[in-house]
Structure 1
Amino acid sequence: MNNVLVLVRHGESEWNKLNLFTGWRDPDLTEKGIDEARQAGELLKKDGYAFDIAFTSALTRAQHTLSLILDELGQRTIPVVENQALNERDYGDLAGLNKDDARAKWGEEQVHIWRRSYDIPPPGGESLKDTAARVLPYYEAEILPQVKAGRNVIVAAHGNSLRALIMKLDGLSTEEILKLNLATGEPYVYRLNPDGSAASKKTLTA
């Protein structure tokens, strides 16, 4: 099979810039984020990638990133599927708070546990395990079949929804995935085997 699956975290958002927990809140990209998305498109174009279908979340920053990438590729007419299954992890009561203020309120250790443990959610929110529980079934039902059918697929989503997916593709343990940080606007290019496992992976950087 060896068709292409590309994963891209959205470009820098207004709340990334302000150091706020974002989750399901819906800020747009900064100027830097717009540039990052365009650069991702340029990198993909330079390497000769083209796509048959695209997936993204229900959040503006991911959708905007995808549209900028497709503009660079000259591919705005391909089908685009939006679904909240690909949304960022829900940070619950932390959403909208400055990360430093959250540490002052709950303590650095507690906030670190919420951010970096696999299965301990913040109050009213999701853990990475919870995020994976919605991302992976959607991937298996909707995205992977497209790749298996011979199509090249791009997914523009979020740090934690993509970490959940990369954990599966790379065969990472719950400890290993916690150490993985995804840069904004950086494409990860997978080629998949017939069984859906990763045959190869590379990161495109400027």
Structure 2
Amino acid sequence: MSKTLYLMLHGQTLFNQLHLIQGSCDSPLTEEGIDSAKVAGKYFKDAGIKFDHAYSSTQERAADTLELITDQPYQRLKGLKEWDFGVFEAQPEFLNPKNQPERHSYGDFFVQYHGESDYDVQNRMNETLTRIMQQADDGQSILAVSHGGAIHAFLLKWMDWNVMDEKVRLHNCAVVKLTFEDEKFTFEEVIQNN
């Protein structure tokens, strides 16, 4: 029997609003970010979706988002953190490189600047989310609040790029619904909450 993962992007932050690169560094949720998280919480409540377990990255923007959605206990995990962009942290977004076409991401660009590669992020996200889902019982629903770059890297492992390009738009407070069965993640839908 399958298990359901609701993989959510945190609410809008000050750095998002200011168009600054935000990976391992942190900034607070804006009023819009707070409101969007509350809308997401209402969506889950109205849809009758209850979480058997909840997780967030160790970064405050993710934990704060989760706490606006549910008051249940949760665990903070480093494996769900955002991509580390090295010395580019807190710099203007226009400094981001172009995606490497063959990898559909920044690839290993940030490694030379003391950051992570897309595969580093993908591997730690996959290991963390797989472990979370393996620990859940059949039929359970899990909420995990993470970050845009980290979620993108994770989805590249499990989705065909053309399908992902067509169906996945990761805005603040978007939720990617996946099922987990036979050690595999399967994309179901994206729920937009902004």
Report the TM range for the smaller structure's normalisation. 0.7 to 0.9
Q: Which runs of 5+ in 1 are unaligned?
A: 71-75, 104-110
Out of 89, 95, 101, the residue aligned to residue 95 of structure 1 is 89
Q: Please tell me the residue identity of whatever aligns with 2:108.
A: D
Report matched runs for 1:173-184 at 5 Å: 173=161, 181-184=169-172
Taking structure 1 as reference, are residues 5 and 22 closer, same or farther at Cα in structure 2, changes over 3 Å only? same
What is the root-mean-square deviation of aligned Cα atoms in Å?
A: 2.5
Taking structure 1 as reference, are residues 35 and 132 closer, same or farther at Cα in structure 2, changes over 3 Å only? same
User: Is residue 30 of structure 2 the alignment partner of residue 30 of structure 1?
Assistant: yes
Relative to the length of structure 2, the TM-score reads 0.85
Shift of 1:83: 1.2
Shift >6 Å, 4+ stretches:
175-179
Q: Please tell me the residue identity of whatever aligns with 1:95.
A: E
Out of 74, 86, 89, the residue aligned to residue 80 of structure 1 is 74
Taking structure 1 as reference, are residues 37 and 83 closer, same or farther at Cα in structure 2, changes over 3 Å only? same
Identity of aligned residues (%): 27
Which position in structure 2 is the counterpart of 1:167? 156
Which position in structure 2 is the counterpart of 1:107? none
Out of 125, 145, 150, the residue aligned to residue 135 of structure 1 is 125
Q: Is the 8 A contact 1:159 1:181 kept in 2?
A: no
Which position in structure 2 is the counterpart of 1:201? 188
Which position in structure 1 is the counterpart of 2:46? 46
Shift of 1:146: 3.2
Q: Is the 8 A contact 1:43 1:205 kept in 2?
A: no
Taking structure 1 as reference, are residues 197 and 84 closer, same or farther at Cα in structure 2, changes over 3 Å only? closer
CA distance in 2, matches of 1:190, 1:183: 17
What is the count of residue pairs matched by the alignment? 188
CA distance in 1, matches of 2:164, 2:82: 16
Provide, for residues 130-168 of structure 1, a one-character-per-residue CA deviation record: whole Å limited to 9, x for no partner.
211221112222x11134544210010100221233223
Provide, for residues 53-86 of structure 1, a one-character-per-residue CA deviation record: whole Å limited to 9, x for no partner.
111101000000101011xxxxx23x31111111
CA distance in 2, matches of 1:47, 1:177: 25
Which position in structure 2 is the counterpart of 1:187? 175
Give SS of 1:49's match. Answer: coil
CA distance in 2, matches of 1:195, 1:57: 22
Which position in structure 1 is the counterpart of 2:106? 117
Q: Is the 8 A contact 1:86 1:135 kept in 2?
A: yes
Larger Rg: 1
